[in-house]
Every structure is written in C-alpha cells, then in structure tokens.
Structure 1
Amino acid sequence: MSTLENLSCPIDSALLIRHERVLTCEHGHTYDLAKTGYVNLLPVQNKRSKDPGDSKEMVVARQAFLNQHHYFPIVSAILSSWPKDHLVSGVRILDAGCGEGYYLSEIGHAMSQQGIDAERTGLDISKWAIVAASKRDKTVSWLVGSNASLPAPNERYDAVLCLFGFPIFKEFARVLSEDGLMLLVESGPNHLIELREILYPSIHDYKQTFSEGIADFELVLEQAETFTFTLNTQEKIQELLSMTPHIHKASYEGREAVKQLDSIILTADIKLRWYRKKTKEVNHV
C-alpha cells in the first residue's frame, strides 16, 4: 500500500502527519484522502486556473494509448540506464508530472521483478490524471500538486523523474537527497516524425534543451532510445494525437489529413539524461 508519509503542508511547509484518511499539519491544515487513496495537496491559491493540467479527455486518451504498451521500451531504457549504485532496495522515487501513472507503475513492477523494493510517489497538477493513477496502482503515493512547490521536505527523495514534463530544477534539487539523481526524458529530433510531416507544412529544427547545463546538477549519462510501433486504426491514431501538444498546435488542414489514415508506422525517438545533484561545497574559514 502507499504510505503518504513524510510530506509537507503546501500552505506552510510544516510536516504532515497521517491519521487514517486525513493528513494534518501542526497549524491545523487538513487534507482528506480521496476514496481511491490519493491526496490533493494543491491549494486553491496555488492554482493558475480552475482545472489545471490535462483535461479528463486528454487523460482518457493517454491512458488508452499507454495501456497498449507501445512506449514500454521507454520503461526498459530507464531501468537499464539507471546508475547501478542507486538502483537499490529502499530507493525513494518521485515522478514529478506523473500523468496517469503508467511509467511509475511499470517501473515499480519491473523493479520488484528484480528484487528491488522502491518507495514511489507520483505527483501531477491534473486532478484527473491522479484520479486515474490512483485506480491503476495502489502501491504508489499519488498526489495532486505542483512541481513549482513540491509538498515534500528537503532531501525527501533519492531520485526525481521528469518524463515529458515541466522540470523545476530548484525544487528538484531541494527535495533530492545528497548525491540524489534526476532523470529527464524528452522527445528527440525524429520523435513521431511521420505524424508531424502530415500535421505541419514544415518541420522546425530540433533544439537541444538545457544544453548549457543545469545549476545544482551534473550530467552523468545521456542516452538515445529509438524504436518503431504501428497504430492500425484511426481511433488509436487519434488517441495518440490527443495526448500530444500537436492536437493544439497543428493546423486544421493537418488534423484533417491525419483523419484520413487507417494505419501508420511511427518512430519513437527519446532522449534520456541522468543528472546527479551536486554536493554543496563547505567553505572553511
């Protein structure tokens, strides 16, 4: 079962104590566990909109696509590239921007098959994503929250994963233990290139993110993972399109052209980058 322990109040950062189905801080702020076991740690004043993050429809589409396991090679690549000195029982993992929980759940299953017992926490700003995640896997602590203000004390986690998400490096560094790891998984230059060539009149040049490095972190490993998969119905093609930014960015003409397809072979081009939190230098007087 999930623990939902050693978390921080999103209003005053005080430690939250769990009493059955309620989390409470010393200043009296309380957060109830939902029926499916998650907790909402995103106070109204921290929301930029009434219903932030992915909509219910986007979550349903993403879940339908990911449940077909076309992206399982990403899970395998994460585990095979994970620095071995940190892939140990007791490792505390935060998936920051976990969506509907596919990756964190599959990572946990694969680790347990290797005899590794990990403590996993998944956080997303979308309530709909966390509702879906909390139904998928009861062994994970699922939180509605924001990467901009993680509801966790300093040095709470040994690894922070940010898969196709919006990293906030200052917060990631804060909640990572000394020598902790951060993983960024992003699209490479040819990701879904076959679909993009139909959606857009021209393809923008690929720009490497964070090429100048990231403060508080040092790059320890960079790996590209490329594989192909087939979507053999229009419904499955639309599920994929609905979970990507292209559903909003592409022109009407491009989206209409995609509607004419009954199958497509697609390239997945993924970049994995592992970083280690830099240890702070102590100035001796």
Structure 2
Amino acid sequence: MDTFTAPLFGRLCCPLDGLPLTAQARSWRCPSGHTFDTASQGYINLLPVQNKRSRDPGDSKEMVAARRRYLESGVYARIATGVARLLMDGLEGQAPYACLDAGCGEGYYLRCLQAQDTKGELALIGLDISKWAVMAGARSSPAMRWLVGSNAHLPVPDASLDALICMFGFPVHEEFRRALKPGGLLIQVEAGPEHLLQLRRIIYPTLKDDKPADATGPQGFSLEAAERLSFDIALDSQAQIADLLLMTPHLFRASAQGLGQARALARLELTVDVKLAAYRRL
C-alpha cells in the first residue's frame, strides 16, 4: 500500500486577538501586525507571556525526556491502539481530517496515530503548554504541526477541527466545542480507579476516594462510545520506575518517604486502568 503525507494544518489564529495568521517565510502574522516565528526545530510558540502563569510553564525538559523513555518502551501501547481505533472509527466527512492533541506532551500518541495513517488522511496537530515537550515532538515528527499553547485558548478558528484528543490532560470542554466542527469527535482518556494503584499505595500515606463518574458527559457533546481498558505491566529497573515517577504529578504530591521507597525498588508490577470515551460535538 502506498504511503501518503497529509498536508500541514494551516488555519492558525493569533493568540492575542483571535485574527487569522498568515504564513510569511518562517513567520506567522495577523492583520494587527502580531508576528510569531517558526523556531528552528519547526514549532510555533503561540503562548504569549501575558497568558503564562509561570516563566516556564508545563513539563520540564527532564520530565519530557522521562516520559519519552517510558512511553517508547511500549508499556502504554494498548492505550495508543485503543485511541487510534476510536478516532478512525468515528471520523466523518472527507479527508484530510484536522486532528489536534490538546496536551500532546512529546507526541507519543500522535506518532502512533501517524503510524496507523497509511493513506495520509490525518493533518495532525500537537499542542502543549510546555515548550520542551513541543520542541521534542517537532524534532521527532516534522510532518505534523507543533504548537506551544494552552487548552484554554486553542489558537485555531471556530469549527476548524474534525477531531480532538485529550490524554490524561486538562480538558476545557467549552473551548473544545468551539474549535470542533459540528459532528466533530472528542476522544478523552482518563485514569480509572485502579490506575497505578500499587505505586500509589507505596508513595501516599492514604488514598483518596475515587470521584463518582459523570454519567452525563460534557455539555454540548453526546457520548458515542465508552470503554475501560485494564491490563498489567511490569517495570523491570529502577531507572524505569524513576521515569514513571518523574513524568507524573505524583512526584510533587507524594511523601518523601514514599518516593524513597519507590525509587529503591528494582521491579514494580502495576495495573494500568484507563477510561476511554468518544464524544460527538452537537
């Protein structure tokens, strides 16, 4: 089967005034004169200083590297396969389909999607608030559009996306609905109650009760498909356990004693438990 490359998504908006951006050589410019350069690594920074909550928001360079090592080991490959299946089964209309990963990290799940897209039907967009994550993604996969930006203000026009993915992230459903076309698809992945339970029992003195599931779903969307994916994995080195700790918020929430106990382990058996849902934009 021939392999094709989908075109890069070009319908970007200025993060300062929402006006359309036009590509000019290696820059993007809006009618008001705001200009954003394409970095040498191939990404565009569309997160203005005034929209940052810190000097260097999002994951650090070290966290990004840890996440890449951990995910590239294949431990979450079944999640990537499930996301790709839900997405490809739910796409409607004509290709190419604009698909944005909101909170893409270093792009593992987008690369898995790209590998499945043998006909070049997906115009893939990775967006993250961490410049280090987006930089890593752009270096590894230049055939995608890479943006530094916020889920709260996606730098794309109204109704411009065919699909949107949010993996273990911070969904902003009102903004997602704005950016999706009517009938567009939202794929959302969240941790289930048993997710990494063995690790959490080590690093926390007590575990919080799980929040009850929201049966109604986000406003402005209809639930099209839902499934729970649960399987066991084994981390066989202190280095891999350290990567898992570094790539998750657990690093900042866990007790010092618990972190020390986890880091001392040479092997850790874990349950992966995630909830996958596909929502249709009304």
1:183 equivalent in alignment to 2:187: yes
Distance 1:118 1:98 in 2: 16
CA contact (8 A) 1:4 1:18 kept: no
Tell me the residue number matched to 1:270. 274
Q: Where does 1:40-55 land on structure 2 (aligned, <5 Å)?
A: 40-55=45-60
How far is the alpha carbon of 1:38 from its aligned partner?
A: 0.4
How far is the alpha carbon of 1:85 from its aligned partner?
A: 4.8
1:74 equivalent in alignment to 2:61: no
Tell me the residue number matched to 1:20. 25
User: Which runs of 5 or more residues in structure 1 are unaligned?
Assistant: 279-285
Letter aligned with residue 36 of structure 1? Q
Tell me the residue number matched to 1:91. 97
CA contact (8 A) 2:232 2:269 kept: yes
- Pick from 65, 68, 82 the counterpart of residue 70 of structure 2: 65
Secondary structure of 1:64 counterpart? helix
Secondary structure of 1:62 counterpart? helix
Secondary structure of 1:180 counterpart? strand
1:117 equivalent in alignment to 2:108: no
Secondary structure of 2:127 counterpart? strand
1:102 equivalent in alignment to 2:105: no
CA contact (8 A) 1:155 1:176 kept: yes
Distance 2:180 2:256 in 1: 43
How far is the alpha carbon of 1:56 from its aligned partner?
A: 1.4
The total of aligned residue pairs comes to 276
CA contact (8 A) 1:223 1:271 kept: yes
Tell me the residue number matched to 1:166. 170
Distance 1:34 1:208 in 2: 43
How far is the alpha carbon of 1:116 from its aligned partner?
A: 5.0
Tell me the residue number matched to 2:203. 199
Distance 1:178 1:263 in 2: 47
CA contact (8 A) 1:154 1:176 kept: yes
Distance 1:147 1:136 in 2: 22
Secondary structure of 1:48 counterpart? coil
How far is the alpha carbon of 1:211 from its aligned partner?
A: 3.9
User: Which runs of 5 or more residues in structure 2 are unaligned?
Assistant: none
Tell me the residue number matched to 1:144. 148
Instruction: Pick closer, same or farther for the CA change 1:239–1:206 going to 2, 3 Å.
Output: same
Identity of aligned residues (%): 43
Give TM-score scaled by structure 2 length. 0.93
